[in-house]
Amino acid sequence: MQAMPEHNCGTSVPAAETILAFDYGLKKIGVALGNTLTRQARPYSILRPVTREQRFAAIQALLDEWQPDRLVVGLPLTTEGGEQYASLRCRRFANQLHGRFGITVELVDERGSSMEAQALLGNNDDDDAVAAYVILQRYLDSLPPA
C-alpha cells in the first residue's frame, strides 16, 4: 500500500483550488467543501453508504459535481499524536480515494474535530459534516500566504 502524504504547512498550493474534505467513519462520512482562494470551508453533507460500492458511487457523484483539485481526509490520532486502529482505516480510505480517482489526497490531524463540531452544533448526533468542515478549515488556515 502506497503511503499518502501527510499535510505539511509548507505545502505549496496554487492560488485557486477546490477541495473536498472527508471525516471518515464506518457508518457515516462527513463531507466539507472549500477552496484555497477564499480559504473558507463549509459543511456540505453526510454520506451514509451501506456498501463499499455505494460509498464510492456517492463520492464519484461529489467529484463529478465539484471537480475538486485536492481531497483532504481527517486522520484520527491519539491524544499524544500516535497512530490507532482508526488511523489505519482512514489511511486505507485515503489510499483508495487516490488510487480510484487519481486526485491528490492529504491527511490532516483531526484530533478534537468532533468535539469542536459538537460545540458548534450543540451536541447534535449528525456532526460529521461539521467535523469535516473543522478538518478542512484547519488545513486551509495552515496554508502559507498566497
107 in helix, strand or coil? strand
Q: What is the pLDDT of residue 128?
A: 85
Q: What is the pLDDT of residue 61?
A: 97
94-129 pLDDT per residue, tens? 999 999 999 999 999 886 655 655 566 566 566 788
| Residue found under cell 460529521 | 128
Which percentage of the chain shows pLDDT scores above 70? Answer: 78
Rounded Cα–Cα distance for residues 136 and 132 (Å): 6
Q: Which grid coordinates are listed for 90? A: 482512514
Q: What is the pLDDT of residue 94?
A: 97
Name the pLDDT band for 3 (thresholds 50, 70, 90): very low
CATH for 29-142, options being 3.30.70.20, 3.40.50.10490, 3.30.420.140, 3.40.50.970: 3.30.420.140
Check: CB of residue 71 under 8 Å from CB of residue 58: no
- State the chain's mean pLDDT as an integer: 85
| Residue found under cell 485515503 | 94
| DSSP character at residue 109 | E
- H-assigned helices in 11-127: 52-66, 85-101, 113-121
- H-assigned helices in the chain: 52-66, 85-101, 113-121, 128-142
How many residues make up the chain in this entry? 146
Q: Which grid coordinates are listed for 32? A: 466539507
45-80 pLDDT per residue, tens? 999 999 999 999 999 999 999 999 999 999 998 888
Name the pLDDT band for 8 (thresholds 50, 70, 90): very low
pLDDT at 14 over 50: yes
Q: What is the pLDDT of residue 65?
A: 97
